[in-house]
Amino acid sequence: MKVLLTEDELSLARTYQRHLERGGHRVEVFTSAEVAYDRLAAAPDEFDILVLDVLLPGMSGIELTRKLRHEGYDIPILMLTALGQNADVVAGLDAGADDYLTKPFPVDVLLARLRALGRRPRAFDPVANATQIRAGDLVIDELQHVVYRGGEQITLTPREFTLLLYLARNANRVLTRDQLMLHVWPDGTEAASNVLDTYIHHLRDKLEVSGSAPMIQTIRGVGYSLRLPDGERAAGVPPPLTNGWS
Ligand code: CA
């Protein structure tokens, strides 16, 4: 992948760069969000992912994320946040980032997150008319409103189905509580603070297979993520677009 890395601490940036290049990626380093934006705007097709520090001189990583999403760029964004800054994490994800890492992090985790985001479909194209989503051994049939795991049919309520479909379409992406609440309860009904956790709990009860890794992960203080086993991506949706924001 070609990585646009924005990190103002140069020694840190060089360390990430070295490890990413060793992992087979190509990397361009920028130390300010403004310059990174100019580079991306000049050649939007060139980069596969933006790795973005939150605390930058001038425009913050969160502001850049908001600007890019507002202007229609759908390049995957992995945010780098400081330890204990959960508010930054939530703000960044709400602004449109896909995932985050808390500094300091092991480099192999960075590489794994890049692989996972690279597998995530970049845009959902209704023209492709996909009616089934596959995520690991999970199959979600949108038309029939039916879910299977390992070939076994699972009965879900309409809300549970909506919640699962949203998580699966955004597999490997962290979704904040607000994003999930807005999507599943757009009219605000039932939207008590603990209702989301209750639905997640029910979904897990119905979906999880003993002995296999849990699909729906809790990101404490942030939200939830449906994680696919390494090497898999959600299918039944169009492949990532080379120019997703056209
Ligand atoms: Ca910084």
> Which residue ranges make up each domain of the chain?
2-118, 126-230
Cα–Cα distances (Å) from 104 to 148, 182, 201, in that order, read 39, 32, 31
Q: How far is the CA of 168 from the centre of ligand 1 (A)?
A: 32
Torsion sign over Cα 181, 185, 186, 190: negative
Burial of 220 (0-12, 13-18, 19+ CB in 10 A): exposed
| pLDDT surpassing 80 at residue 232 | no
Q: How far is the CA of 52 from the centre of ligand 1 (A)?
A: 9
Instruction: At 68, give phi and psi (nearest 5°).
Output: -65, -45
Q: What is the pLDDT of residues 3-24, one digit of tens each?
A: 999 999 999 999 999 999 999 9
Selection from 181, 179, 141 nearest residue 161 by Cα: 141
Confidence of residue 198 (pLDDT cuts 50, 70, 90): very high
Q: How far is the CA of 10 from the centre of ligand 1 (A)?
A: 9
Which amino acid is residue 60, in one-letter code?
S
Tokens 């940036």 belong to residue: 13
What is the pTM (predicted TM-score) of this model? 0.71
Q: How far is the CA of 9 from the centre of ligand 1 (A)?
A: 6
Q: Which numeric CATH code is attached to 2-118?
A: 3.40.50.2300
Instruction: At 107, give phi and psi (nearest 5°).
Output: -65, -30
Confidence of residue 125 (pLDDT cuts 50, 70, 90): very low
Query: Tell me, what's the pLDDT at 116?
Result: 85
Q: How far is the CA of 125 from the centre of ligand 1 (A)?
A: 36
Q: How far is the CA of 244 from the centre of ligand 1 (A)?
A: 28
| pLDDT surpassing 50 at residue 98 | yes
Q: Which numeric CATH code is attached to 126-230?
A: 1.10.10.10
Mean pLDDT of 195-201: 93
Q: How far is the CA of 31 from the centre of ligand 1 (A)?
A: 9
* Alpha-helical segments (H) within the chain: 10-22, 33-42, 61-70, 86-95, 107-119, 158-169, 177-184, 195-207
Mean pLDDT of 157-178: 91
Chain mean pLDDT for the chain: 85
Q: How many CB atoms lie within 10 A of CB 164?
A: 26
Our measurement of the distance from residue 123's CA atom to the centroid of its chain's CA atoms, rounded to an integer in Å, reads 12
Residues near ion ligand 1 (CB < 5 Å) are 8, 53, 55
